Chain A
Amino acid sequence: MKAVVVLLALAGALALQTTLSGLTINGARMVNLVVVAVVYVALMYGSVTGLMAGTAGGLAQDTLAGGIVGIGGLSKTIIGFLSGVLGAHFIVAQPLPRFVMFVGATIAHEVVFQGVYALVEARGFRLQFTPLLTQALINGIVGLTAFFIVERGPGLVQGRRARRGRY
């Protein structure tokens, strides 16, 4: 069951990333749904599942995007594992700590991703702060929304049904 949920989350994130980006460069750079899915899975299921999800999601993204296969996998494996470890050591059941986790993971992912690319291509380390912070904030909001929908969504739907039933 857990494997199915993780696979669905990753496949959904990949499909949405390519479709909802609206085929625009700026739109695509504003959010990285695979990072959101990996961190979400890591916080929900722990470091090992986060690690596996990071590997699978990162490799899938690498093979689909056409860059060097493994760089996205490596960076997402690291953030998946670390998010799971931090999620197990700290209380991340409230929106603010979760938001911080998503934002921190996005920044860490970009640093590792660009760092490894810089090493492989023997070029300078480039990090654009404004787009990165924008992406981190949007990833944080998307992650919180995902938690909200999964945790509160069924209750809200049941409540609405119950209210309708009374009338």
Chain B
Amino acid sequence: MLDNIQRTTVARPRTGLLFLAVIVGHVILISSQVQSRAGVPVLEGVTFGVFSRVQQATAGVFRFVGSGWSNYVDLRGVRGENETLRSRVSELEVRLQEQRALALRAERLQAALNLQSAVAVPTLAAEVIAGYVNPGILTVTIDRGSADGVLEDMAVIAPVGVVGRVIGPVAAHAARVQLLVDQHAAAGAVIERSRAGGMVVGRDADPTLRMDLVSYLADVKIGDLVVTSGADGIYPRGFTIGWVETADRGEGLYKSITVKPSVDFRSLEEVLVVLRPARKAIPEESGEPPSGPAR
């Protein structure tokens, strides 16, 4: 009994000390990245490399279970019919489901391939294998990595527009893509009609994009197409980002513009990685260098 009391009184300060030590460790870890923004490449590389395999396996299992479950649900619908007819119908339904899924997939891949042949830059088709691991940071995992030629900061696009960029470190067979709608992402952009330049950044609201640094004198109308300017050195010039949803006189010398993205980020399945390494950001025509996509 006395032993227990002594142990408890000794253990409490130890727990407090451990808590303090861990907190201080975290603060040091965070502080070390504030200036350099280099992250912790080894830790990130190892964790991501290992876990991307788990993600691939989990995605495979869930697809298998999902397909099995939908087949099961379909089978339950025809249970009332006689045995022979039921097995025949269920078999046909399963086949129909498979064919429909294949047709949809072929359609999507066709769209991706059409884009692949239309764009001048070399691209690589990739499949999204995992969604957002942290609700506060919008990144997805794709099934292509350094073994396929994917490098950090390569642009990722979809048939309808810009998706985001690869953020490092890249695993051998998987890579992380920071979506353009993430509040820490940005891209150099222009209004296609008037060529007014600016920078599109993600935001935690609807619509999910905002266009900054557009002069209040610039000609911007609701519905104008916003495309990449190529000035950031990551996204190729001329790819669709979205459409202007609101354009008001903002604070200071700039307009306040929101942009509705052309890509539906709720259903990303196949994307294309632009296999062109990022180059150094080039200055705009105005002479003012853009601040670059990584914020």
| A11–chain B nearest beta-carbon distance, Å | 7
Does B201 interact with chain A (Cβ within 8 Å)?
no
Contact B29 A23 (CB under 8 A): no
A-facing residues in B135-154 (Cβ within 8 Å)? 135-141
CB–CB A116/B54 < 8 A? no
Residue interface mask A12-52, B partner, CB < 8 A = 1: 00111111111111111111100000000000000110010
Residues on A with C-beta less than 8 A from B22 are 51, 55, 77
**A63 to B48, alpha carbons, bound, how many Å?**
7
B202 CB to nearest chain A CB (Å): 10
Chain A interface: which size bin?
A: 35 or more
Which of B39, B51, B132, B134 has the most CB atoms of chain A within a 10 A radius of its CB? B134
Roughly how many angstroms separate A69 CA and B47 CA in the complex, as a whole number? 12
Contact B131 A24 (CB under 8 A): yes
Determine the residue in chain B with the shortest Cβ distance to A114.
Answer: B136
Q: Is the CB of B204 within 8 A of A73?
A: no
- Inter-chain contact B133/A18, CB cutoff 8 Å: yes
Task: Report A-chain residues with C-beta under 8 Å of the C-beta of B266.
Answer: 23-27
Contact residues in A for B18 (Cβ distance below 8 Å): 48, 51
B115 at the interface (CB under 8 A from A): no
A51 touches B128 (CB 8 A): no
Q: A25-B181, A65-B137, A68-B33 are in contact. Are A18 and B58 (CB under 8 A)?
A: yes
Among B179-236, those with CB < 8 Å from A are 181, 184, 204, 208
- B23 in the interface (beta carbon within 8 A): yes
CB within 8 Å for A63 and B33 given contacts A74-B27, A78-B23: no
Assembly CA distance A112 to B22 (angstroms) = 15
Given A47-B15, A67-B184, residue A23 in contact with residue B140 (CB < 8 A): yes
Determine whether the beta carbon of A22 is less than 8 Å from that of B131. yes
Q: What is the interface of chain A, defined by CB distance below 8 A to chain B?
A: 11, 14-32, 47-48, 51, 55, 59-74, 77-78, 81, 113-114, 116-117, 120, 126, 128, 135
4 further A-B pairs in the complex, CB-CB below 8 A; given A19-B130, A64-B48: A18-B55, A24-B131, A28-B131, A65-B139
